[in-house]
Amino acid sequence: MNQTYINELKDHIGKEVTLKGWLYNSRSSGKLVFLQLRDGTGIVQCVVFKPNNEELFENAKSLGQESSIIVRGTVKEDTRSSIGVELDVTGLEIIQNAHDYPITPKEHGTEFLMDNRHLWIRSKKQHAVLKIRHTVIKAVRDYFDDNGFILADTPIFTPAACEGTTTLFEVDCFDDDKAYLTQSGQLYNEATAASFGRSYAFGPVFRAEKSKTRRHLTEFWMVEPEMAYAQLDDVMTLGEGLIKFIVERVLADRREELTVLERDITKLEAILATDFPRVHYDDAVKLLKEGFVKGELENDFEWGGDFGAPDETYISKQFDAPVFVHHFPAVIKAFYFERDQDRPELALGADLLAPEGYGEIIGGGERAFDLKFLEEQIEAHNLPKESFEWYLDLRRFGAVPHAGFGMGIERATAWMCGIEHVRETIPFPRMLYRLKP
Ligand code: 4AD
Ligand code: MG
């Protein structure tokens, strides 16, 4: 294919090239038209000079935003350009001259932009966010692939709940059977970990959560590693390694995008040199109580409760790095957690709270080992035992201590990007009241 990509132009200075893309923006002044051409790899300024070719000049002037065009020209070094080059146009082929593109350079409201998400993803900032998402995902895969984990995907249609019945999406199946959209691949990961030793799943999960916050999607992507012969500490060590690997990779490969987003990268760099603190739930509660006394929190936190967003933000603000909180009260956690042998009211779980108010990005822990204990938990949580018989087999045949976690890709990406809301970190977000486009 006779095409040069914008991110390769620096290697073609002085040469004629053909660029294929879309008109991002344009302006004209006197005898010049400046076309901002984007092709997915970058944006370059293409200069059309009237005296060179009048017809070409008129055609260039007639182009509407997001017209699809093929541009020929000579690559010229230009120190004022952020990519170091611009193009002297010698030829223009109009594939489609588009008019009245709805997203103009002026400000638009979020609802409008979300309704036009299929077009909005062409905009500079959205483009940068989604490229960072790509790099986060690539880093996640490399990290597990290079550390002895086998990718073993888990089903989306499932017969039972993993994370409690209140956030289950129900689907009609054949012959009046009900299925549920998976909330987490974890239970299946426990089976694959018993087969491969270390395995991971990576795919979409669903939560019928009626939460309309900047951290919640109803469909999101989760990566979930699971390790046989592992305990709570191993979860925190693996999670810390993963997060540092992602941060390193994003800093190395996505400088340009971080600049577009005006991300303060010193905050990301800082965590690489720091051991992530590991705070017992009891101590986290003490911190929250102090915060209330100091007037920095609105409500006094009671031991036994689950953290709300302001609590998570407050805890994370006490540290320079992401912080693990571990040993939660079992009553606020899912049925499958192993208990602390000395304090059975505590679950061997750990959540990682990201800095800068991004909240929980990792949740996981050690899984219950004992068959009888799990049977009791399934009953206590009002879960249908017959749907879990296969899962209980994992305790009947070669049970071992094992542990794992889940990391939400969108929350991790929002934090990397330093953006307000997770809805911009996935190409087509699904949220409460948002099923379109
Ligand atoms: O803490 P969660 O619910 O943990 C589990 O599902 C475990 N079964 C995972 C495991 O141990 N294998 O979810 C894990 C992570 C959270 O820390 C968060 O990053 C993300 O998934 N997450 C969400 N992201 C976006 N929208 C939501 N509604 C989310 N709920 C959880
Ligand atoms: Mg959680």
Q: What Rg do the C-alpha atoms of the chain give, in angstroms?
A: 26
Residue 329 pLDDT > 70? yes
CA 259 from centre of chain: 19
Q: Whose CA is nearest to atom 20 of ligand 1?
A: 408
Q: Read off the DSSP letter of residue 15.
A: S
Q: How far is the CA of 166 from the centre of ligand 1 (A)?
A: 15
Ligand located closest to 405 CA = 1
Ligand 1 binding residues, C-beta < 6 A: 162-163, 184, 186, 207, 209, 216-217, 220, 222, 224, 360-364, 404-408, 410-411, 422
Question: Are 60 and 205 within one domain?
Answer: no
Nearest to 203 by CA among 128, 137, 130: 137
Q: Residue 359: CB partners within 8 Å, gap ≥ 6?
A: 215, 309, 312, 313, 316, 353, 411
What pLDDT does residue 14 have? Answer: 97
Range of lowest pLDDT (146-150, 380-384, 390-394, 396-400): 380-384
Direct distance between the N- and C-terminal alpha carbons of the chain, in angstroms, rounded to an integer: 32
The mean pLDDT value for 269-296 works out to 96
Question: Are 82 and 121 within one domain?
Answer: no
- Per the CB < 8 A criterion, the answer to whether 366 and 402 are in contact is yes
Looking from the CA of residue 184, the nearest atom of ligand 1 is 6
Determine what percent of the chain is predicted with pLDDT higher than 70: 100
Question: Are 80 and 128 within one domain?
Answer: no
C-alpha span between 104 and 100 (Å, rounded): 9
Question: Are 209 and 271 within one domain?
Answer: yes
Determine what percent of the chain is predicted with pLDDT higher than 90: 91
Question: Are 89 and 138 within one domain?
Answer: no
Residue 357 pLDDT > 70? yes
**269 torsion bin: left (phi>0), alpha (psi -120 to 50), beta (else):** alpha
Q: How far is the CA of 198 from the centre of ligand 1 (A)?
A: 20
C-alpha span between 230 and 237 (Å, rounded): 11
C-alpha span between 404 and 414 (Å, rounded): 23
Which of 48, 66, 96 terminates a domain? The answer is 96
Question: Are 134 and 58 within one domain?
Answer: no
C-alpha span between 429 and 43 (Å, rounded): 26
Q: pLDDT, tens digit, for every residue of 7-35? A: 999 999 999 999 999 999 999 999 999 99
pLDDT band at 164 (very low <50, low <70, confident <90, very high): confident
Q: pLDDT, tens digit, for every residue of 84-99? A: 999 999 999 999 999 9
Question: Are 73 and 153 within one domain?
Answer: no
Print the domain residue range for 299.
117-425
302 belongs to a structural domain? yes
Residue 416 pLDDT > 70? yes
Q: Can you give the CATH number for the domain in which 279 is found?
A: 3.30.930.10
390 belongs to a structural domain? yes
Instruction: Tell me the backbone φ, ψ of residue 32, rounded to 5 degrees.
Output: -120, 140
Q: Which of 183, 184, 205 to mutate to test the pocket of ligand 1 (most atoms within 8 A of CB)?
A: 184
pLDDT band at 210 (very low <50, low <70, confident <90, very high): confident
pLDDT band at 315 (very low <50, low <70, confident <90, very high): very high
What pLDDT does residue 1 have? Answer: 59
Residue 200 pLDDT > 90? yes
Say how many domains are in the chain. Answer: 2
Instruction: Tell me the backbone φ, ψ of residue 155, rounded to 5 degrees.
Output: -75, 155
pLDDT band at 433 (very low <50, low <70, confident <90, very high): confident
